[in-house]
């Protein structure tokens, strides 16, 4: 299951047109008296136009139609979000002539960015010996070490969040809240926020896994600006779960499985790593299957048992590397799927073939995927650049 994954890459985000001499359509919004303030604003690939405008030569923003009043300037009222009449790309009968706008268009190529919530067992047993360290420090170093810890290396590509969970009891009664969850909301470039909490934290006491997963799912639902990209939980624990009602013995397996099932039903998959060998294989398999929605008759989902530092890194590589797919989201919409291969996709300065096992293919109107050698190169090359260019009659911006 382990996939070797290069630590870092960067996407070149390109947006621009190769256009004619006039930046404004003669009958367009920006050619009128008292045009909007954004008309004529400077723009480049790195500095795009405001919403409702597109960048035309000689590097100024313009608007052919108003998306808020589409019927005013577009046949059929089809004004897209960039202030361009949709229909002119498909036929010329009564439509606006697009020849002044561009000969081709480069679209933004944004790779899918997963959200990864690292759920870390903060129970007292995490102080047990683990290779050359203890379980707590080994896991924390695998995630936070600079420059090759997973959060440090991948924070620009993954929306990392953190949840430390445990509970404290005195004479059988909880001390404070149960479960006790320290939650850092997911974000790009989130290393500093996570390190500020995780770097100084120490193990506490119990392992109320089910109640903690439910609490984390609730916290996640309150994070503003949710994304359509995939969200996963990585549960790193070193023991059988208990509950707030019964911290001992550790009989919280049904509650943990039920919480993982609720997460899956909410669109969040869960992967589990046993830090050490104290978690039963049966429970690990139940969590793994439930976490990805596998039921009776389905093949067993993978889980990971780490016996030392290297095992932890292998497990994290397998899980996170598997989430960093080679699916790329385009800012434009490909209108003619049969003509998609007339576009050009360039990786690290070299074109890669369309519909080739080692090239790229269109998934749908707004997504392409790199495969084989191209995918491996994208994942393994620090500073990799990707650029997608399509003719105007193929992509609508």
Over residues 189-213, the pLDDT tens digits come to 999 999 999 999 999 999 999 999 9
pLDDT at 286: 97
The predicted model gives 176-200 an average pLDDT of 96
Pairwise CA distance, residues 127 & 105, whole Å = 56
The predicted model gives 215-225 an average pLDDT of 92
Over residues 272-285, the pLDDT tens digits come to 999 999 999 999 99
pLDDT at 5: 26
pLDDT bin (cut points 50, 70, 90) of residue 73 is confident
In this predicted structure, the answer to whether residue 21 has a pLDDT above a threshold of 70 is: no
pLDDT at 166: 97
pLDDT bin (cut points 50, 70, 90) of residue 345 is confident
Q: Write a three-state SS string for the chain.
A: CCCCCCCCCCCCCCCEECCCCCCCCCCCHHHCCCCCCCCCCECCCCCCCCCCCEEECCCEEECCCCCCCHHHCCHHHCECCCCCEHHHHCCCCCCCCHHHCCCEEEECEEECCCEEEEEEECCHHHHCEECCEEHHHHHHHHHHCCCCCHHHHHCCCCEEEEEEEECCEECCEECCCCCEEEEEEEECCCHHHHHHHHCCCCCCCCCCHHHHHHHHHHHHHCCCCCCCCCEEEEEEECCCCCCCCCCCCCCCHHHHHHHHHHHHHCCEEEEEEEECCCCCHHHHHHHHHHHCCCCCCCCCCCCEEECCHHHHHHHHHHHHHHHCCCEEEECCEECCHHHHHHCEEEECCEEECECCCCCEEEEECCEEEECHHHHHHHHHCCCCCEEEEEECCCEEC
Pairwise CA distance, residues 144 & 82, whole Å = 41
In this predicted structure, the answer to whether residue 17 has a pLDDT above a threshold of 50 is: no
In this predicted structure, the answer to whether residue 81 has a pLDDT above a threshold of 60 is: yes
**Residue that has been written with the tokens 């050009």 in this structure:** 344
pLDDT at 148: 82
CB 311 within 8 A of CB 273: no
Q: What residue ranges define each of the domains in the chain, with the CATH number in brackets? A: 16-111+327-396 (no CATH), 115-323 (3.40.50.410)
In this predicted structure, the answer to whether residue 234 has a pLDDT above a threshold of 90 is: yes
């Amino acid at each position: 299951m382990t996939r070797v994954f290069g630590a870092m890459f960067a996407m070149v985000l390109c947006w621009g047109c190769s256009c004619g001499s006039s930046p404004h359509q003669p009958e367009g919004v920006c050619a009128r008296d008292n045009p909007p303030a954004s008309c004529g604003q400077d723009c480049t690939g790195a500095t795009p136009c405001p919403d409702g405008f597109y960048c035309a030569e000689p590097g100024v923003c313009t608007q052919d139609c108003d998306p808020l009043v589409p019927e005013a300037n577009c046949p059929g009222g089809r004004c897209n979000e960039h202030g361009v009449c949709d229909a002119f790309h498909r036929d010329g009968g009564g439509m606006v002539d697009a020849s002044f706008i561009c000969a081709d268009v480069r679209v933004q190529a944004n790779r899918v960015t997963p959200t990864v919530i690292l759920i870390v067992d903060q129970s007292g047993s995490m102080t047990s010996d683990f290779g050359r360290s203890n379980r707590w420090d080994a896991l924390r170093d695998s995630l936070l070490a600079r420059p090759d810890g997973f959060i440090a290396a991948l924070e620009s590509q993954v929306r990392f969040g953190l949840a430390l969970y445990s509970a404290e009891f005195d004479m059988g009664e909880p001390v404070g809240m149960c479960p006790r969850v320290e939650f850092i909301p997911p974000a790009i470039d989130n290393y500093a926020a996570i390190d500020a909490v995780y770097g100084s934290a120490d193990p506490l006491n119990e392992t109320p896994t089910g109640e903690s997963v439910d609490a984390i799912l609730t916290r996640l639902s309150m994070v503003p600006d949710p994304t359509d990209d995939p969200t996963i939980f990585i549960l790193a624990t070193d023991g059988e779960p208990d509950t707030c009602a019964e911290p001992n013995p550790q009989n919280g397996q049904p509650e943990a499985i039920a919480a993982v099932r609720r997460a899956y039903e909410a669109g969040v998959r869960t992967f589990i790593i046993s830090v050490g060998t104290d978690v039963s294989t049966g429970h690990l398999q139940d969590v793994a299957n439930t976490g990805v929605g596998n039921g009776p008759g389905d093949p067993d989902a993978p889980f990971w048992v780490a016996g030392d530092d290297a095992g932890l890194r292998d497990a994290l590589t397998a899980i996170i590397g598997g989430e960093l797919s080679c699916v790329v989201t385009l800012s434009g919409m490909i209108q003619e799927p049969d003509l998609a291969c007339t576009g050009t996709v360039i990786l690290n300065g070299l074109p890669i073939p369309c519909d080739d096992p080692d090239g790229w293919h269109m998934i749908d109107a707004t997504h392409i995927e790199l495969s084989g050698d191209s995918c491996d190169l994208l994942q393994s090359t620090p500073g990799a650049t990707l650029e997608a260019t399509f003719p105007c009659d193929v992509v609508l911006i």
